[in-house]
Structure 1
Amino acid sequence: MLTRNCIIFSRYVLFQSINICEKKYIQQKVRHINIFYRVEKRIGWRSVSLASLLNNEKKEDLHKIQKDNIENEHSKVENKDSKTRINKDKPILEVISPDLKISKKEKSAILENVKEKSLHENETDKNRPKLSSDSIKKLKEKIIGKGEKDSDKTKPLVKKRKRVDLSCQSLERNFITPVKAMSDFLLKPSDLECLPKTKRRSPYESEPPITVYWRRDVEAKALEVWGTHENLQKELLKRDIEKKKYQQNIFTVKRRLRDFRREMGRSTDVIEEESGLMGRSGKVVLTAVVINGTNFLFKLFAWIFTGSHSMFSECIHSLADTINQLILAYGIHKSVQIADSYHPYGYSNMKYVSSLISGVGIFCVGTGLSFYHGISGLLHPTPIDDFFWAYFILAGSLVSEGATWLVAFNSIRRGAREVNMSVKDYIFRGQDPSVNVVLLEDFAAVIGVIVAAGCMGVSSLTNSPIPDAMGSILVGCILGSVASFIIYTNVAALVGRSIPEENLEKINQELEKDIMIRAIHDVKGIDMGSYLVRYKAELDFDGRELTRAYLDKMELNDILEEIKAIDNIDKLEEFMLKHGENLVDMMGGEIDRIEMKLRKKYPEIRHCDLEIL
């Protein structure tokens, strides 16, 4: 019954919408309705577009019309409270068009025609094979899918939010400093005046914010000035060639630079009064140079007069010490030079380099020549001469070398006291490599003088050159041992040596106490020499505390008003981008604060690299 009522109501809607006033037109529409009923029964579902039967040119959204038809059927037929209920016994033509004026014969003829066609259709439907459930399902999906496709065309376009594409490479948001803009794009200061600029945190500590420009604006200005990229590249190439020509005379450039710095009252050689050659290490090395040079001259004359193999070894020993200490003096002088673009971490390792060269020199020259001369004396013994003057020279050398050793030892003891280390650890860790070399060389010299004097005395008593030659070999062994120790300690420092574990733990504890830090990872403390440390750590920042610190600097009422004004996605995105960028700047400021706090408590930290996890 429900199906019959739905069909009746569909016919009613159809004929009311077109205001049929003629009998022939009614007969034609009744035929269309019967066709529709036949299609409806064949397919097995109720709601098919009526508009498509009336006007094939206007293909409206089928899915929408089907939904409307079903809702109208339920509201008109099944609603018990409706005033427009359909009378089942009432003739169908009166239901379709109650105002239509036709005779009873015409009405009965039309109804009989409809009944005959319906009976004929029912018989053909029974004989016609029914569609399978899969075919009906596919047909439904096809028609409904088409309706959804058509309805998508009428949906309003929604603005898509711009998302981050990590694979895309762009320089539009990059900043550029004025110096780089003038050097890379050959612009003048007057060209940059009209460009928009902003302030950013300085990458250098204790310096005000720097002025930067947007790279896209600088590139556009460069194109405006030079016309095309080709013209700019040609000019850059031309200036690069001129720069290389100027750099050919490197000595002239260095001399002019040195004169300029002297005129400006700056010195690149010495950082402060108590460093370099005027510092504690420098004074020890210069004292050793003077004393060892004097000893070399006296020992040279003694060897010429006596021909002693042991005296020759001592002469070579003093010469090697003098040359090596001159190298140490140059290393100390260079180690305090201010860092530049070629050596951004400074020249502090020059102490270790010069000490390493000294160790190699002692081993090759001192040990090698002493061994050679001693073995030569054993293979080709010669008569010995009077060693009277040699004893006096050795005694003077013992006093002078001993004095130099005492100066070096006192310097090391003071240095160990300053860093709260024992003298032994201070020497073995090579905290002051230049003074270490002087101390060990003078120690070897004192022992060598004693060995040489003893062997010469035995040779004088036995009147045999063999003990004297053996003394030369023993002095060579002493020099080789000292040289090996110097090479080992300096190589360890140059390769990269960690600071003592207790010192590293103190720095870590100070860092972990900060409220912004949850944890630290991958900690490294490298000894750079000259009491300087490079500290590196990965930080796990506390995001809530960082945000709270940011909000402390903001007016919360203003932020609340901004939030209330957000009524679409664009405003929300702008709000998040603004405060997100400010939070990143806030994080950079907190890292600078933590670095300054560490350097203040631990002045030996020269370079502090803190990275965010």
Structure 2
Amino acid sequence: MHICVLFFCGSRKARPNRRMCDNFMRPLLVQHARCLGNSTDDGKEQPPMSEVQATIVKAVSGHRRKVDVTKDYTERNFVTPVRAMSDYLLKPSDLEGLRMVKRRSPYEDAPPLTVYLRRDVETKALEVWGSYEGLQKEHEKRRREEQKYRESMSNVKSILKEYQRAERASQEAKRREQILQGSGRVVHTAVVINGLNFAFKSIAWLYTGSHSMFAEAIHSLSDTCNQLLLAFGIHKSIQQANPDHPYGYHNMRYVSSLISGVGVFFFGAGLAWYHGIKGLLHPEQLESLYWAFFILGGSLISEGGTFLVAFNELKRGARREKMTMLEYVRRSRDPSVNVVLLEDMAAVLGVTVAAACMGLATHLGDPMYDAIGSLIIGTLLGSVAAFIVYSNSVALVGRSIPFDAMQQINKELENDVMIRAIHDVKATDMGNYVVRYKAEIDIDGRELTRSYLDTQDMELLLEEVMNIETIEQLEAFMLKHGENIVDLLGAQVDRIESNLKKRHPEVRHVDLEVL
């Protein structure tokens, strides 16, 4: 009896009642000492009672195993059914007797995953295939069979070719419809008009020999080439994301606009400057300018028409984004339409400059004015190209969304009951009206625990606590509910991300990291 009492009072469970144990043990120890005496059979003196008690307590105190994060540990790793069948070559019937666990799915709006313990799957695989070597041999065998199967599928592919062609035609029709809307419609209109202008201006230049007319012809040619490049960028940017490009091709519009700006600068402005300098060094008398003025007048009307189309599209976009027109253009929210607008604006001004300089050269009889007009048009093209290159370079580097929009998102997150604070916020405009939002969030542990307790039967939970008698039972209790709380944390983060995307459709990618 004395030994049982000593063991109880030396255990961790009795530490909260240490005073009661001391009062209870003291007379027992005294009685025990009187029975045995203060000395052993060999005459040696026993240690004091306090030392005996301390020694007993120290001897029976328990210690739980600590977690060593430096070691590899796969005992609790999970394997999905697909991986169990692909990596371990198990059949669905082989998995029926294994322990199943429901885990939260990593995919948005997907049901929970059914997973198995990795050690159970490996044990079953060894049972089925005999050894790891047998499993590897089966893998090699199936790879060879799969290769033969792929070769035999060539006939089946030819049968399905008609169906694939019809499906592709349907997708292309939808894509064309999307391209022809908005910025795609603006770019295609500009391509047609600038192509016609280039043809007519080239004929006028060959007929008159005017340097200003040559600069305008080169201007229209560069605009046509650049807008074809913009059309390719729009076509590429609407492609769906794939494993090689998980965030899609949204930035292709900025890439094509950047290349377009570089082309305008070196090809358009460069040739205009070259021809203007050549005209200054070797002036030639102009001839037959009647048709040149007529073509410039038609070009002014057509360029003005495409300018108005681009202007109206940008105006609608600015209204949709709740921005001023100037801010919308400066931030290059729609880079393709921006380029068309700026190029057409430069074209309208260039046609005006060319007509004025050709008129002065004819009226005063001095061809130097015509060469000066070519230099002015080149400078105009260079200025537009510099702005296009700068605005698209800033967008490609990774530009933040407007401050007010980011503050609105931050405010909505901070108003959530589970979030105490947010830090290190990065909201990046990825193009095509797609935003990526990243933030570090400080989760309120108390509210998270309350949310978990709302799903539990408190009376049953209390009964579980009252039945805890050993350290092992306490550890099992904590592991069970601790794992459930971690799962709830992931579910709450998913809820916050989903609500954020619903309120802000432009936010397609949300990365919330828990501090």
In the TM superposition, residue 281 of structure 1 has moved relative to its aligned partner by: 0.9
Match of 1:297 in 2: 199
Q: In structure 2, do the counterparts of structure 1 residues 490 and 182 end up closer, same or farther at CA, with 3 Å as the change threshold?
A: farther
Q: In structure 2, do the counterparts of structure 1 residues 269 and 558 end up closer, same or farther at CA, with 3 Å as the change threshold?
A: farther
1:346-365 alignment, distance < 5 Å: 346-365=248-267
Find the partner of 2:46 among 52, 55, 66: 66
Counterpart-to-counterpart distance in 1, 2:168 and 2:377: 51
In the TM superposition, residue 298 of structure 1 has moved relative to its aligned partner by: 1.2
Residues 524-562 of structure 1: CA deviation (Å, up to 9, x unaligned):
111112222111111111111111111111111221221
Counterpart-to-counterpart distance in 2, 1:608 and 1:454: 55
Q: In structure 2, do the counterparts of structure 1 residues 307 and 543 end up closer, same or farther at CA, with 3 Å as the change threshold?
A: same
1:472-487 alignment, distance < 5 Å: 472-487=374-389
In the TM superposition, residue 465 of structure 1 has moved relative to its aligned partner by: 2.7
Q: In structure 2, do the counterparts of structure 1 residues 260 and 176 end up closer, same or farther at CA, with 3 Å as the change threshold?
A: farther
Counterpart-to-counterpart distance in 2, 1:222 and 1:204: 28
Contact kept, 8 Å, 1:409 with 1:439, in 2: the verdict is: yes
Match of 1:523 in 2: 425
Find the partner of 2:103 among 191, 197, 200: 200
Find the partner of 1:572 among 467, 474, 491: 474
Counterpart-to-counterpart distance in 2, 1:262 and 1:445: 42
Contact kept, 8 Å, 1:269 with 1:334, in 2: the verdict is: no
Letter in 2 for 1:456: M
Match of 1:313 in 2: 215
Match of 1:172 in 2: 75
1:449 matched to 2:449? The reply is: no
Counterpart-to-counterpart distance in 2, 1:178 and 1:257: 33
In the TM superposition, residue 376 of structure 1 has moved relative to its aligned partner by: 2.1
TM-score normalised over the length of structure 2: 0.82
Letter in 2 for 1:168: K
Counterpart-to-counterpart distance in 2, 1:182 and 1:371: 68
Match of 2:26 in 1: none
Q: In structure 2, do the counterparts of structure 1 residues 573 and 263 end up closer, same or farther at CA, with 3 Å as the change threshold?
A: same
Residues 21-56 of structure 1: CA deviation (Å, up to 9, x unaligned):
xxxxxxxxxxxxxxxxxxxxxxxxx96643x47xxx
Q: In structure 2, do the counterparts of structure 1 residues 178 and 561 end up closer, same or farther at CA, with 3 Å as the change threshold?
A: same
Give the SS at the match of 1:337. coil
Counterpart-to-counterpart distance in 2, 1:610 and 1:184: 32
Counterpart-to-counterpart distance in 2, 1:257 and 1:559: 62
Match of 2:396 in 1: 494
Counterpart-to-counterpart distance in 2, 1:537 and 1:441: 39
Counterpart-to-counterpart distance in 2, 1:492 and 1:296: 31
Find the partner of 2:183 among 281, 288, 294: 281
Q: In structure 2, do the counterparts of structure 1 residues 389 and 182 end up closer, same or farther at CA, with 3 Å as the change threshold?
A: farther
In the TM superposition, residue 421 of structure 1 has moved relative to its aligned partner by: 0.6
Counterpart-to-counterpart distance in 2, 1:235 and 1:359: 57
1:510 matched to 2:374? The reply is: no
In the TM superposition, residue 570 of structure 1 has moved relative to its aligned partner by: 1.1
Tell me: higher relative CO, structure 1 or 2? Use CA pairs within 8 A at least 6 residues apart: 2
Q: In structure 2, do the counterparts of structure 1 residues 582 and 450 end up closer, same or farther at CA, with 3 Å as the change threshold?
A: same
1:212-227 alignment, distance < 5 Å: 212-225=115-128, 227=130
Letter in 1 for 2:234: I
Q: In structure 2, do the counterparts of structure 1 residues 223 and 355 end up closer, same or farther at CA, with 3 Å as the change threshold?
A: farther
In the TM superposition, residue 417 of structure 1 has moved relative to its aligned partner by: 0.8
- Structure 2: which 5+ residue stretches go unaligned? 1-36, 151-156
Counterpart-to-counterpart distance in 1, 2:397 and 2:445: 38
Counterpart-to-counterpart distance in 2, 1:377 and 1:183: 74
Contact kept, 8 Å, 1:269 with 1:338, in 2: the verdict is: no
Letter in 1 for 2:442: D
Counterpart-to-counterpart distance in 2, 1:410 and 1:483: 22
Counterpart-to-counterpart distance in 1, 2:169 and 2:123: 41
Q: In structure 2, do the counterparts of structure 1 residues 178 and 371 end up closer, same or farther at CA, with 3 Å as the change threshold?
A: farther
Match of 2:236 in 1: 334
Letter in 2 for 1:203: P
Letter in 2 for 1:220: T
1:397 matched to 2:288? The reply is: no
Contact kept, 8 Å, 1:307 with 1:384, in 2: the verdict is: yes
In the TM superposition, residue 232 of structure 1 has moved relative to its aligned partner by: 5.2
Match of 2:114 in 1: 211
Match of 2:333 in 1: 431
Counterpart-to-counterpart distance in 1, 2:512 and 2:176: 28
Q: In structure 2, do the counterparts of structure 1 residues 302 and 549 end up closer, same or farther at CA, with 3 Å as the change threshold?
A: same
Q: In structure 2, do the counterparts of structure 1 residues 608 and 388 end up closer, same or farther at CA, with 3 Å as the change threshold?
A: same
Letter in 1 for 2:285: P
Give the SS at the match of 1:508. helix
Contact kept, 8 Å, 1:269 with 1:333, in 2: the verdict is: no
Q: In structure 2, do the counterparts of structure 1 residues 383 and 182 end up closer, same or farther at CA, with 3 Å as the change threshold?
A: farther
Contact kept, 8 Å, 1:178 with 1:212, in 2: the verdict is: yes
Q: In structure 2, do the counterparts of structure 1 residues 152 and 519 end up closer, same or farther at CA, with 3 Å as the change threshold?
A: closer
How many corresponding residue pairs? Answer: 467
Q: What's the Cα RMSD here?
A: 3.3
Q: In structure 2, do the counterparts of structure 1 residues 396 and 195 end up closer, same or farther at CA, with 3 Å as the change threshold?
A: farther
Counterpart-to-counterpart distance in 1, 2:370 and 2:163: 55
Counterpart-to-counterpart distance in 1, 2:327 and 2:299: 29
Letter in 2 for 1:598: L
1:71-150 alignment, distance < 5 Å: none
Counterpart-to-counterpart distance in 2, 1:468 and 1:231: 86
Letter in 2 for 1:374: G
Give the SS at the match of 2:110. coil
Residues 546-592 of structure 1: CA deviation (Å, up to 9, x unaligned):
11111111111221221122111111111111110110111111111
Letter in 2 for 1:299: K
Counterpart-to-counterpart distance in 1, 2:416 and 2:349: 54
Higher mean C-alpha displacement, 444-453 vs 556-565: 556-565
Letter in 1 for 2:261: G
Letter in 2 for 1:219: E
Find the partner of 1:459 among 335, 344, 361: 361
Letter in 2 for 1:200: R
1:608 matched to 2:510? The reply is: yes
Counterpart-to-counterpart distance in 2, 1:188 and 1:299: 73
Contact kept, 8 Å, 1:432 with 1:530, in 2: the verdict is: yes
Letter in 2 for 1:395: G
Counterpart-to-counterpart distance in 1, 2:168 and 2:267: 44
Counterpart-to-counterpart distance in 2, 1:272 and 1:257: 22
1:8-47 alignment, distance < 5 Å: none
Match of 2:4 in 1: none
Give the SS at the match of 2:46. helix
Aligned sequence identity (%): 58
Higher mean C-alpha displacement, 197-206 vs 310-319: 197-206
Q: In structure 2, do the counterparts of structure 1 residues 572 and 410 end up closer, same or farther at CA, with 3 Å as the change threshold?
A: same
Contact kept, 8 Å, 1:261 with 1:267, in 2: the verdict is: no
Give the SS at the match of 1:66. coil
Counterpart-to-counterpart distance in 2, 1:190 and 1:303: 81
1:573-588 alignment, distance < 5 Å: 573-588=475-490
Q: In structure 2, do the counterparts of structure 1 residues 271 and 386 end up closer, same or farther at CA, with 3 Å as the change threshold?
A: closer
